[in-house]
Amino acid sequence: MTQTGTAGGTAVEIRTGVGAGQPAPTPGGPEPELAVRSRGLRKTFRGTVAVDHVDLDVPAGCVLGMLGPNGSGKTTTIRMLLGLVRPTEGEVWLLGQAMPDGAAHALPRVGALVEGPGFHPYLSGPDNLRRVAAAEPLLPTKAINGAVADALERVGLTDARNRRYRAYSLGMKQRLGLAAALLVPRELVILDEPTNGLDPAGTREIRRVIAELHAAGTTVLVSSHLLSEVEATCTHVAVLHKGNVVAQGELAPLLEAGNPTLLVSTPAHTEAVEALRDNRIGVRIVADGLLVDLAGTSAPVVVETLVRAGVPVHEVRRQRADLEELFARLTESTPDTTEFSDSEGTR
């Protein structure tokens, strides 16, 4: 099924159902402007389908939020993108390299935190990072200490530099894993649930780091089930549901393509409702004023209708669907949507 809307005069298409969000393959390999691309990606475990023919496009320089309920295939997809798991079917390109055969060329330019970090419990944070840094092909030995110090400062762990890893909280462990991913400048950073276990202050720090990476031109792919975080940090989204991509694209147009409405502030609610309904314009009273349905009209027509009726108009604001409404619409056929939340929860 296809739903079509407009945003700022631009047609926006949200494809729903199996195979949705999958643009036609381009002959001759990946397009240069894509940092990540998959075609027909499928993974089965002992007959159970975890990922089912995922076609994913991640434009270079974007921040893409990969969203979906628990069990939707997010982590499995990420592991296949990084060459950690070989697909049952399909192809993956990472920074222009076919995976997993091109891993040696692509992965040094990629930083990743997948399914939580793993470090030596009896070593300190800096000592753990030095061991990771020693294996970085793009990091000269003489630059390791400086890179470790910079990474720790970037994620807010400088004050804990003498503490052993086993004494770290869950949030500190997540931060150290992120620091390992940022030891050298990356073209692509992939983060699987990076705010897991973080308090609000830690979550804000992760949001700041993602913003800095985006400003520097780094492509960031973030897997999450926290809708508020994705809406605050991401420029693009891809929604996975039962192993399929059910929608993908730029975040703002996807939200604008939802049911368009206009919030009108006026002291004359009754007169405004009568004037609009007399002109067959849908409207209802809400806490902040009047919510006008723009499905069959436009904002200028609404304002003109009210002014002609002598209704004082103090303010009008175009409303758009929020992320929660979008995902409820895309996944409402199953109870899995209850696993989306705006707070920390079980993965």
Query: CATH no. for residue 295?
Result: 3.30.70
Structural domain harbouring 155: 17-256
Same domain, 248 and 284: no
Same domain, 204 and 273: no
Region of 262 (left: φ > 0; alpha: ψ -120 to 50; beta: rest) is beta
Question: Which strands, in side-by-side order, build the sheet including 315-319?
Answer: 283-286, 289-293, 261-265, 315-319
Widest distance between CA atoms in the chain? 76
Q: Whose CA is closest to 259, among 284, 218, 292, 212? A: 292
Q: Residue 335 falls within a domain, yes or no?
A: no
Say how far apart CA 112 and CA 107 lie, in whole Å.
Answer: 9
Residue reference for tokens 């003109």 = 304
Q: What was the pLDDT predicted at 56?
A: 93
Q: Residue 168 falls within a domain, yes or no?
A: yes
Same domain, 25 and 173: yes
Q: Residue 310 falls within a domain, yes or no?
A: yes
Structure tokens at 250: 């730029």
Query: CATH no. for residue 65?
Result: 3.40.50.300
Q: Residue 326 falls within a domain, yes or no?
A: no
Q: What was the pLDDT predicted at 23?
A: 42
Torsion of CA 215, 216, 218, 219, to 10 degrees: 20
Q: Which of 225, 256, 287 is the last residue of a domain?
A: 256
Say how far apart CA 244 and CA 19 lie, in whole Å.
Answer: 7
Q: What was the pLDDT predicted at 166?
A: 94
Beta pairing class for 63-67 and 219-224: parallel
Q: What was the pLDDT predicted at 60?
A: 95
Domains: count for the chain: 2
Q: Residue 333 falls within a domain, yes or no?
A: no
- Rounded to two decimals, what is the model's pTM? 0.73
Same domain, 41 and 91: yes
- pLDDT tens for the 347 residues of the chain, in order: 333 333 333 333 333 333 444 444 444 444 448 999 999 999 998 888 889 889 999 999 999 999 887 778 899 999 999 999 899 999 999 999 999 889 999 999 999 998 878 899 999 999 999 999 999 999 999 999 999 999 999 998 999 888 999 999 888 899 999 999 999 999 999 999 888 878 888 888 888 999 999 999 999 999 987 788 888 889 999 988 888 888 888 887 777 666 678 889 999 999 999 999 889 888 888 888 888 887 778 889 999 999 999 999 999 887 766 677 776 666 665 443 333 334 333 34
Quick one: DSSP state of residue 309?
Answer: T
Same domain, 88 and 173: yes
Same domain, 130 and 276: no
Structure tokens at 6: 């407009």
Same domain, 200 and 308: no
Say how far apart CA 4 and CA 228 lie, in whole Å.
Answer: 25
Q: What was the pLDDT predicted at 182?
A: 94
Strand, coil or helix: 270? helix
